[in-house]
Amino acid sequence: MGKTSCAPHYVNAGGAIVFRWKNGTPSSQDPVKDIEICIVHRQRYDDWSFPKGKQESHESIAHTAVREVGEETGYQIRLGAQICTLLYPLHTDGSSKHLKKKKKLSQHTSHPVIKRVVYWIGHLLDDRHVMRRMEAFGTPIIRDTETDHVVWMNCDQAAQTLTYDNDHDVLNRFCDLVRHGALTGTTLLLASAEEVVKTRKWSGDEVLRPLTKKGVMHSYYMARNLASYGADILHITPAARYRETLALYSVMTKLPLQADLVSTPSSSNLKAKRPLDEALRQLLGEKALVSPVVWCADDDFIAEFLTFLCANTQEDILLPADMRFLPGGVLVVTLTVSSDVVGLCEAHWISESPQEESITA
């Protein structure tokens, strides 16, 4: 009789620490002291925690986090820096009076059931931004009845109130990111073009080579992910594949596609570009420091630009181990600027569709 595999089964969830400034803006040297964060009480479990919930089959984990925060708190958010990923046995999720039933469920399978929760920093959205992203994000979020209390506390008060040790770990990591400038930084989404028609099937100008039908379909998932991050500024390399990758999101949000970040390539050379330092200066100019920016460009240039960022920042950063640029993939980077010095808070991947998304721990 063969051995039974004990590979774990994962239940994915997403959530956020939603913050607000006590006085509207930072006012002290320690930004942690200038904020309040949102925690919720679930009557079913009689616990205090950060808003989170399970991933549904049609959505990415980033979309899950935004939806669940809306359902549990009534607040509409966009995602900022990714805080961390928690892994723990499913039967430990909830108060003791519910553990017995969960343990029985896990005992009926040879596969351990692991809860995997990804947390982000949640930025509150005003009504104008909520309306702008509504078509791209999907069904409007309606507050549910799972939580009976939604409260704002400073970080010290939250640390004394939170029920689970894991949440204290999330809070500590959040505070570290806050002190590194994550709340006032820029969310930069480096987007790879969706799948394009094969070269052997295209005899026209290379700049005009379009997306495949699958690529066009996947641009819908791209739009939902970009909406989860509240992307407000859309830069593209001026070729058909990049324009078509962001076209649906542009139409849904009525945001223009800007083809001015890199120089226009000729039909024979898609890699004719401005110097990286010039592109970075433009990227961090205007209102980019307060608005999430999307940059859709070719994979080699994204990789080169990311290497440039890492070599010209004040902080070392642990990049995702899997650096493959899959069609429609997005590398999310949190940038900060202090005295004209660029810093990196964190980076992680999101993919073109929920089924193919990988979660980095």
Last residue of a domain, one of 168, 183, 198: 183
Integer-rounded Cα Rg, in Å, for the chain is: 21
In CATH, what number is assigned to the domain containing residue 179? Answer: 3.90.79.10
Last residue of a domain, one of 154, 183, 212: 183
Helix axes of 213-228 and 240-253: crossing angle, nearest 10 degrees? 50
Range scoring the smallest mean pLDDT among 10-14, 35-39, 150-154: 10-14
pLDDT at residue 7 is higher than 80:
no
65-74, 92-101, 177-186, 283-292 — which one is most confidently predicted on average?
A: 65-74
Is residue 41 in some structural domain? Answer: yes
Backbone dihedral region for residue 222 (phi beyond 0: left; psi -120 to 50: alpha; all else: beta): alpha
Range scoring the smallest mean pLDDT among 18-22, 89-93, 295-299: 89-93
Domain count, the chain: 2
Residue 114 C-beta-side C-alpha neighbours within 13 Å: 14
Q: What band does 109 get if pLDDT is binned at 50, 70 and 90?
A: low
- 179 shares a domain with 197: no
202-206, 209-213, 297-301 — which one is most confidently predicted on average?
A: 209-213
Last residue of a domain, one of 138, 166, 183: 183
- 277 shares a domain with 340: yes
- 82 shares a domain with 67: yes
Read off φ and ψ for residue 17, nearest 5 degrees: -95, 110
H/E stretch holding 257 reads strand 257-258
Is residue 148 in some structural domain? Answer: yes
- 78 shares a domain with 156: yes
- 145 shares a domain with 203: no
H/E stretch holding 121 reads strand 113-124
Is residue 137 in some structural domain? Answer: yes
Is residue 162 in some structural domain? Answer: yes
Q: What band does 101 get if pLDDT is binned at 50, 70 and 90?
A: very low
pLDDT at residue 132 is higher than 80:
yes
Closest CA to 85 of 360, 334, 351: 360
pLDDT number for residue 359: 38
User: Residue 201 is part of which domain span?
Assistant: 185-356
Q: What band does 278 get if pLDDT is binned at 50, 70 and 90?
A: low
pLDDT, the chain, mean: 79
Whole-model pTM: value is 0.84
pLDDT at residue 181 is higher than 50:
yes
- 315 shares a domain with 213: yes
Taking residue 337's Cβ as centre, other Cβ atoms within 10 Å add up to 16
| CA gap 274, 329 in Å, rounded | 23
pLDDT at residue 11 is higher than 80:
yes
Q: What band does 271 get if pLDDT is binned at 50, 70 and 90?
A: very low
pLDDT at residue 270 is higher than 60:
no
- 102 shares a domain with 243: no
Is residue 82 in some structural domain? Answer: yes
Is residue 134 in some structural domain? Answer: yes
Mean pLDDT value of segment 286-293: 68
pLDDT tens digits, 217-236: 888 888 999 999 999 999 88
pLDDT number for residue 201: 82
In CATH, what number is assigned to the domain containing residue 282? Answer: 3.40.50.1240
- 191 shares a domain with 58: no
- Give percent of the chain above pLDDT 90: 36
pLDDT number for residue 337: 67
Q: What band does 273 get if pLDDT is binned at 50, 70 and 90?
A: very low
- Give percent of the chain above pLDDT 70: 73
pLDDT at residue 123 is higher than 80:
yes
- 303 shares a domain with 157: no
- 272 shares a domain with 147: no
pLDDT number for residue 223: 92
- 73 shares a domain with 35: yes
Range scoring the smallest mean pLDDT among 168-177, 202-211, 244-253: 202-211
Mean pLDDT value of segment 72-83: 93
Contacts of 172 (CB under 8 A, 6+ apart): none
Q: What string of DSSP letters covers 228-244? A: HTT--EEEE-SSHHHHH
pLDDT at residue 2 is higher than 60:
no
Strand, helix or coil for residue 28: coil
pLDDT number for residue 58: 82
- 165 shares a domain with 280: no
Q: What band does 281 get if pLDDT is binned at 50, 70 and 90?
A: low
Is residue 145 in some structural domain? Answer: yes
Taking residue 127's Cβ as centre, other Cβ atoms within 10 Å add up to 8
